[in-house]
Amino acid sequence: MILTRKFGTHEGCDVIETTLCSDTAEVAILNYGCVVRDWRVRTKTGVIPVVLGFDDFDYYPDHSPSFGIIAGRVANRTAKGKFHLNGVDFQLPINNGENHLHGGPIGLGRRMWEMETDDTTNSIHLRYHSKNGEEGYPAAVDFTVTFQLQGNRLTCEMTGIPDAPTPINLAQHSYYNLNGYGNTRDHLVQIAAQNYTPVDDAQIPTGEILPVKNTRFDFTSATSFGQNDPDNLGVDHNLVLDTERNTKDPAAIVYSPSSNLELQLWSDEPGLQLFNAPAMNLPVPGLHGENYGPFAGLCLEAQHFPDSLNHPEWPSIICTPKAPYSQKLVVEIAPR
């Protein structure tokens, strides 16, 4: 079942919320930024909201730290917003210290998308045409995002078809909290990643790929943030997913002992940015009046590596009309 309602207005356009429903879950998605605004899972003891968001649309443009968006054209950071392609130097807008983040100050996550529903498959299709030069990027790109809910499993398929060579690296950017409230420091996290890309003080990769062993980024076995990071330093790092892993198995598993909910994530991307929001302190209420403070949610951003444009030795994010962009992400949240 699919429900639709007007959720607000943005720049003279109606913000529409479409909710995919199953017997065990509901996922509400906006045509603003493809935002996953709310995701509720039914359990024996009641309904648990498992992502961070807002009940009031007006909070999104001013206060959202990328809650639930599709980040791009290039997710994550690009050093000083600079890259070189086919003999041309490009300068992207700077919106994160000295660097470019998540496609720029507007990116794809603050655009109005065309939306249509498909009751037969319980899906939502979103489309956006990004013009040549938008946010400093070369080429025009036709983007599509499809969300499908089947039981407790949400599939997100992203494509980008450019008319000329251009970088594309999208990421679905939900903040998860399997307790439905409070913080995520008790969540047990397991990720199929024996290596990570260390960063400098500006969160730009140094170019190294190092083992996670004996670091706070070691989630090769189920470990809580409280165990791995007793000093509350937080995590905002790209984990290099094991290339030899069985892709039929989840790349990441998160479990909350408090709610007994388990998240499983499957991805075809080479990296997973793990972020647990150590400095979050929003001045406005979140869903159901929640106060979102430090560690209120965790992100599992499946993507290519940050600053890939300046590291040609890493998997390329350059897409062409003959080799367009695609990503398939599957997330299932259910009682264990």
Please give the full DSSP string across 181-237, using - where no structure is assigned. Answer: SS-STT-EEEES-SEEE-B-TTS-B-S--EE-TTSTT--SS-EEHHHH-TT----EE
Q: How far apart are the first and last CA of the chain?
A: 25
Classify residue 141: in a domain, yes or no.
yes
**pLDDT score recorded for residue 40:** 98
The predicted model scores a pTM of 0.97
**pLDDT score recorded for residue 109:** 98
Q: Over the Cα atoms of the chain, what is R_g? A: 19
**pLDDT score recorded for residue 163:** 98
What's the structural domain count of the chain?
1
Given a contact cutoff of 8 angstroms between Cβ atoms, the answer to whether 298 and 226 are in contact is no
What's the pLDDT tens digit per position in 64-114?
999 999 999 999 999 999 999 999 999 999 999 999 999 999 999 999 999
Is a pLDDT exceeding 90 seen at residue 43?
yes
- What is the rounded average pLDDT of the residues 19-41? 98
Classify residue 76: in a domain, yes or no.
yes
Determine the Cα–Cα distance for residues 27 and 267; give it in Å rounded to an integer: 19
Is 173 designated active site?
A: yes
For 143, the token pair is 């983007």
Classify residue 196: in a domain, yes or no.
no
CATH at residue 77: 2.70.98.10
- Dihedrals phi, psi of 119, to nearest 5 degrees: -65, -30
Residue type, 200: D
Q: Which residues contact 241 (CB under 8 A, 6 or more apart)?
A: 191, 192, 193, 251, 267, 269, 270, 271, 272
**pLDDT score recorded for residue 247:** 87
What's the gap between Cα 25 and its chain centre? 20
Can you give the residue range of the structural domain that contains 77? 2-184+261-335
Classify residue 238: in a domain, yes or no.
no
Classify residue 77: in a domain, yes or no.
yes
- Other C-beta atoms within 10 Å of 151: how many? 12
In which residue are the tokens 């979102």 written?
292
Classify residue 72: in a domain, yes or no.
yes
What's the pLDDT tens digit per position in 249-295?
999 999 999 999 999 999 999 999 999 999 999 999 999 999 999 99
Give the pLDDT band of residue 226 (cuts 50, 70, 90): very high
Catalytic annotation, pick one of 173, 187, 237, 304: 173
Determine the Cα–Cα distance for residues 156 and 203; give it in Å rounded to an integer: 27
Q: Give the residue from 120, 118, 126, 169 showing the smallest Cα distance to 146.
A: 126
What's the pLDDT tens digit per position in 191-219?
999 999 999 999 999 999 999 999 999 99
Catalytic annotation, pick one of 17, 26, 134, 301: 301
Classify residue 251: in a domain, yes or no.
no
- What is the rounded average pLDDT of the residues 181-200? 97
Is 288 designated active site?
A: no
Give the pLDDT band of residue 139 (cuts 50, 70, 90): very high
Residue type, 297: G
In which residue are the tokens 């094991």 written?
242
Cα-Cα-Cα-Cα torsion 230, 249, 158, 112, nearest 10 degrees, comes to -40
What's the pLDDT tens digit per position in 239-250?
999 999 998 999
Give the pLDDT band of residue 170 (cuts 50, 70, 90): very high
Q: Which helix (H) or strand (E) holds 63?
A: helix 59-63
Classify residue 310: in a domain, yes or no.
yes
Residue type, 102: H
